[in-house]
């Protein structure tokens, strides 16, 4: 490990070292191979360390023996980009494996490539450039832009064939040979990219967005078919981890922590939830969960969450009115929302957070009024703090609502203003997802190959990517409204 001399590089080095020192590993990971792979999560450390694929890929790549995989995260202020594991600068790695899970992170990837003067178009790269491999959740529903950027796009779950190709690489082979070996799965489509193996945490850090919990993926994908949701439509059949395996993982990590984070699209759909809760109760473990279905809640689960220190009860009605919930395919009634809210109060929650989608082109004033009515009901039921998380509908490819236009930015701003005022009048706090970022998300999620080319050329000309993306959203909307 070489310590930098320049003050800026030193600061960067110190920041990465600070996170490294905070990590406690559940199992020892040996870094011994000579094929150097940089595993890059294109967002900050808090988000990266909460993402289970960041853990899983790190463990599985290093298990290959020939590979020395080190972790990197994105920070706008960085120049060198030191690895978390040995503080080696990023440009010393031959293969950059980038795991993209959110559309906006693509902007960080492009910025990273530009900082290192790596051409944005894969076809322009030369022998001395790193091999850019891209995988992650975005590859389940749109790879058009990613295919222009990446030398290799790995679609869907990490496959055994990819691992064996990576495991066969020698350190002396050149860029072309690496790409040829790793592209072996060409032709793999989103319809056949699902594996049974689920992920679990490799290290624990208090700086993750989930706090110092050991994370266990208990389920992947979702058998519900909410009509706006890529998880239900594009992530393959719902798969769950066996109960024995979950309990064993908890026991193995229990010498380090009694705090666990259960990760699934909907934890309440876990088929062995009752037995798992009994086990958690018996061991007096503390748990948090990634998400719940409000029609599948039970007293035991909420009591355990309360006892685990969770202050806020969170549910996602998504649609204000029954009409909207039906259009969204949510399968949730007003009575079920009321029962869930009463149950939350009964087990002692005083804070509630409700997730809603607003601004669909088919939404009416009446639909939105019911959002406000539900917030009012929460206050009447005795919740002292009521927060509404309001997110514009972003039509995404592969879903039944995916071909809709996104509501115009100006209209969304008006809706945001009115909803904020109405919610304030009933004593609720409104927490709006940024409209600008939602529009960018819409553009990136729906970008086709031609749009992708234009976008990369635009950035190559030193123009602001965001400006292109606002215009691109207008263009998609125009086509969809014709
Ligand atoms: S919104 Fe939730 S319940 Fe509906 S399909 Fe997506 S993950 Fe499943």
Instruction: For ligand 1, pick from 229, 237, 297 the residue to mutate: most ligand atoms within 8 Å of CB.
Output: 229
- Asked whether 35 lines ligand 1 (CB < 6 A), one says no
| Mean predicted confidence (pLDDT) in 372-396 | 98
Interatomic CA distance for residues 398 and 229, integer angstroms: 9
| pLDDT at 4 (0 to 100) | 82
Average pLDDT over residues 122-140: 97
Return the pLDDT at 6.
Answer: 83
Instruction: Give the class (CATH, top level) of 23-193.
Output: alpha beta
pLDDT at res. 147: 96
Kindly give the distance from the C-alpha atom of residue 353 to the centroid of ligand 1, in angstroms, as a whole number: 17
End-to-end CA distance of the chain: 59
Extended strands (E) in 119-238: 131-135, 152-153, 203-204, 214-217, 219-220
- The preferred substitution site among 223, 225, 232 for testing ligand 1, maximizing ligand atoms within 8 Å of CB, is 232
Q: Is the pLDDT of residue 187 over 60?
A: no
- Could you tell me the pTM of the whole model? 0.95
Give the integer Cα–Cα distance in Å for 362 and 215: 39
Tell me what pLDDT residue 166 has. Answer: 96
CB 202 within 8 A of CB 27: yes
Average pLDDT, rounded, for the chain = 95
Q: Which atom of ligand 1 is nearest to the CA of 318?
A: 1
Is residue 186's pLDDT more than 70? no
The H-assigned helical ranges of 254-364 are 273-283, 299-307, 322-327, 334-346
Closest Cα to residue 287, out of 315, 249, 242?
Answer: 249
pLDDT at 185 over 70: no
Specify the DSSP element, H or E, that contains 365.
Answer: helix 365-380
Is pLDDT at 102 greater than 80 in this prediction? yes
pLDDT computed for residue 196 by the predictor:
84
- On the 0-12 / 13-18 / 19+ scale of CB atoms within 10 A, 460 is middle
Confidence band for 240, pLDDT divided at 50, 70 and 90: very high
pLDDT in tens, 426-436: 999 999 999 99
Residue 109 scores a pLDDT above 90: yes
| pLDDT score at 189 | 58
Q: Can you give the pLDDT at residue 184?
A: 72
Q: Is there an atom of ligand 1 within 6 Å of 357 CB?
A: no
Q: Is the Cβ atom of 231 under 6 angstroms away from ligand 1?
A: yes
Percent of the chain with pLDDT over 90: 93
Q: For 203-440, which CATH superfamily applies? A: Aldolase class I (3.20.20.70)
Is the pLDDT reported for residue 1 higher than 80? no
* Mutate-to-test residue for ligand 1 from 224, 355, 389, highest number of ligand atoms within 8 A of CB: 224
pLDDT of residue 219: 97
CB of 266 closer than 6 A to ligand 1? yes
The residue extents of the domains of the chain are 23-193, 203-440
Cα(482)–Cα(473) distance, integer angstroms: 14
Question: What is each CA distance from 30 to 54, 62, 67, 95, 320, in whole angstroms?
Answer: 16, 7, 10, 18, 51
340 pocket-lining for ligand 1 (C-beta < 6 Å): no
Predicted pLDDT of residue 169:
96
Neighbour-count burial for 136-175, b at 16+ CB within 10 Å, e otherwise: bbbbbbbbebbbbbbbbbbbbbbbeebbebbbebeeeeeb
Q: Which atom, in ligand 1's list, is nearest to the CA of 225?
A: 5
Label residue 167 by pLDDT band (50, 70, 90). Answer: very high
pLDDT of amino acid 190: 59
d(CA 262, CA 213): 9
- Which among 106, 357, 105, 136 has a CA at the least distance from the CA of 228? 357
pLDDT of residue 290: 85
Comparing 163-172, 249-258, 288-297, the range with the smallest average pLDDT is: 288-297
Q: What is the pLDDT of residues 267-320, one digit of tens each?
A: 999 999 999 999 999 999 999 998 889 999 999 999 999 999 999 999 999 999
Q: Is the CB of 224 under 6 A from ligand 1?
A: yes
* 354 ligand 1 Cβ < 6 A: no
Q: How far apart are CA 478 and CA 482, in angstroms?
A: 6
């Amino acid at each position: 490990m070489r310590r930098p001399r320049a003050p800026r590089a030193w600061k960067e080095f110190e920041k990465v070292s600070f996170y490294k020192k905070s990590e406690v590993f559940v199992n020892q990971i040996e870094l011994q191979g000579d094929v150097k792979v940089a595993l890059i999560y294109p967002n900050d450390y808090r988000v990266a360390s909460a993402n289970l694929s960041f853990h899983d890929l790190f463990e599985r790549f290093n298990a290959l023996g020939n590979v020395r995989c080190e972790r990197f995260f994105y920070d706008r202020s960085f120049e060198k980009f030191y690895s978390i594991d040995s503080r080696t600068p990023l440009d010393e790695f031959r293969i950059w494996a980038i795991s993209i899970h959110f559309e906006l992170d693509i902007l960080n990837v492009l910025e990273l490539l530009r900082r290192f003067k790596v051409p944005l178009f894969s076809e322009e790269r030369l022998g001395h450039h790193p091999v850019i491999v891209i995988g992650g959740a975005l590859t389940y529903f749109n790879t058009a832009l990613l295919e222009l950027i990446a030398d290799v796009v790995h679609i869907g779950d990490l496959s055994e064939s990819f691992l064996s190709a990576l495991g066969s690489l020698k350190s002396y082979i050149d860029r072309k040979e690496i790409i040829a070996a790793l592209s072996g799965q060409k032709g793999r489509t989103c319809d056949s990219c699902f594996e049974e193996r689920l992920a679990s945490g490799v290290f624990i850090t208090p700086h993750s967005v989930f706090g110092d919990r050991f994370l266990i993926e208990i389920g992947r994908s979702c058998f519900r078919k909410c009509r706006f949701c890529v998880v239900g439509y594009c992530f393959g059949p719902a798969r769950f981890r066996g109960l024995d395996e979950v309990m064993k993982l908890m026991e193995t990590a229990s010498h380090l922590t009694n705090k666990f984070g259960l990760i699934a699209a909907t934890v309440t759909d876990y088929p062995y939830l009752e037995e798992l809760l009994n086990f958690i109760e018996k061991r007096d473990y503390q748990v948090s969960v990634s998400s719940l279905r409000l029609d599948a809640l039970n007293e035991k689960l909420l009591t355990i969450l309360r006892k685990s220190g969770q202050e806020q009860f969170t549910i996602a009605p998504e649609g204000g009115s029954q009409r909207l919930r039906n259009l969204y395919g949510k399968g949730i009634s007003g009575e079920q929302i009321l029962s869930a809210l009463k149950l939350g109060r009964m087990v002692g929650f005083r804070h509630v957070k409700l997730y809603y989608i607003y601004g669909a082109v088919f939404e009416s004033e009446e639909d939105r009024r019911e959002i406000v009515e539900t917030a009012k009901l929460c206050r009447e039921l005795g919740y002292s703090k009521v927060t509404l998380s309001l997110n514009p509908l972003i039509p995404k490819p592969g879903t039944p609502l995916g071909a809709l236009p996104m509501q115009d930015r100006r209209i969304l701003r008006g809706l945001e203003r009115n909803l904020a005022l109405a919610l304030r009048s009933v004593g609720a706090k409104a927490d709006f997802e940024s409209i600008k970022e939602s529009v960018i998300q819409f553009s990136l999620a729906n970008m086709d190959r031609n749009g992708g080319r234009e976008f990369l050329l635009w950035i190559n000309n030193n123009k602001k990517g965001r400006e292109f993306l606002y215009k691109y959203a207008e263009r998609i909307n125009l086509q969809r409204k014709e």
